[in-house]
Amino acid sequence: MFLELKSIHKSFDGQKVVENLDLTLEKGQLLCILGSSGCGKTTTLNMIGGFLTPDTGTIFLDGADITTIPPEKRPVSTVFQSYGLFPHMTVLENVIYGLKFRGYKKRQAREKGMRYLEMVGLQDYANSAIHEISGGQQQRTALARALIVEPKLCLLDEPFSNLDAALRVKMRKELKALQRELGITMVFVTHDQEEAMLLSDQMAIMDQGRLIQMGSPEEIFRNPANEFVSSFLSLSSLRWEEDGTLLKVIKEP
């Protein structure tokens, strides 16, 4: 397995937040961790990103044990809910920031930066200040900044939660297309059932620090592990595109 979490436990002040968590993900796939507020999604993502260390358990990425490696030394990029962009830098400067420490010459970095800006449709905003661009454009800038360092794994924590409903749908489609095109392995955290169903190759449903069920959206929809999963998803039917991608989920009335 490309990414493997084995028997992860994490407590804060004696309170168990993640309990005996096992997760696996193949290369090039998108995993959504789905669960209600406080179930341990961000804590899990932060352990994969290296911002937290598990109390016990091991995390493997591409064959290497990364459990205790600091975030900046892991081949992992994280897109936070708040984007974490540098307000005093332009869009392009933000995107190429991570290349500074990777031996790029300034011109090389700028050329690569422009390629990644094009990929997210922001080539005309390279020299804009962060406060001059919209929320969706900031989100795309953060995504380009995460991807430009060509990480083995990209982590996203509710990245669309600050966007309005229409933009969320648009960004979701763009992200999925980009993820497929580049074959990036991603872990995406959300509490939105529909978002998870439409984005995921694999879905992990968590409740109170535990993994309740893992599988493809279709598998979970057809065979929910228990009453909790079916009522949490509360879906009545699914619709597919001709090429087999999930197009729409219909909620129970």
Ligand X SMILES: Nc1ncnc2c1ncn2[C@@H]1O[C@H](COP(=O)(O)OP(=O)(O)OP(=O)(O)O)[C@@H](O)[C@H]1O
DSSP character at residue 27: T
Options 42, 46, 94, 139; binder of Mg ion; rule CB under 5 A: 42
Tell me the CB-side half-sphere exposure of residue 185, using CA atoms within 13 A: 17
Assess contact for 67 and 58: CB atoms under 8 A: yes
CA distance 36 to 228: 12
Of the pair 125, 172, the CB lying nearest ligand X is at: 172
Stretch that binds Mg ion, among 11-19, 39-47, 213-221, 236-244 (CB under 5 A): 39-47
CA distance 225 to 219: 10
Sign for the pseudo-dihedral over CA of 123, 146, 215, 11:
negative
Does position 139 interact with Mg ion (CB under 5 A)? The reply is no
Q: What, of Mg ion, ligand X, none, does residue 191 touch, CB below 5 to 8 Å by kind?
A: ligand X
Of the pair 41, 140, the CB lying nearest ligand X is at: 41
Please, which of residues 34-53 interact with ligand X by CB under 6 A? Answer: 35, 37-43
Q: What, of ligand X, Mg ion, none, does residue 43 touch, CB below 5 to 8 Å by kind?
A: ligand X
CA distance 195 to 51: 25
Of the pair 18, 149, the CB lying nearest ligand X is at: 18
Please, which of residues 11-30 interact with ligand X by CB under 6 A? Answer: 12, 17
Options 6, 9, 191, 210; binder of ligand X; rule CB under 6 A: 191
Does position 136 interact with ligand X (CB under 6 A)? The reply is no
Phi, psi values for residue 118, rounded to 5°: -60, -40
Does position 138 interact with Mg ion (CB under 5 A)? The reply is no
Give, in order, the Cα–Cα distances in Å from 172 to each of 127, 153, 166, 220. Answer: 25, 18, 10, 20
Strand order across the 64-65 sheet? 15-25, 3-12, 56-61, 64-65
Assess contact for 30 and 202: CB atoms under 8 A: yes
Does position 190 interact with Mg ion (CB under 5 A)? The reply is no
Of the pair 41, 176, the CB lying nearest ligand X is at: 41
Stretch that binds Mg ion, among 37-45, 87-95, 126-134, 217-225 (CB under 5 A): 37-45
Of the pair 42, 141, the CB lying nearest ligand X is at: 42
Footprint on this chain of ligand X (rule: CB under 6 A) = 12, 17, 35, 37-43, 191
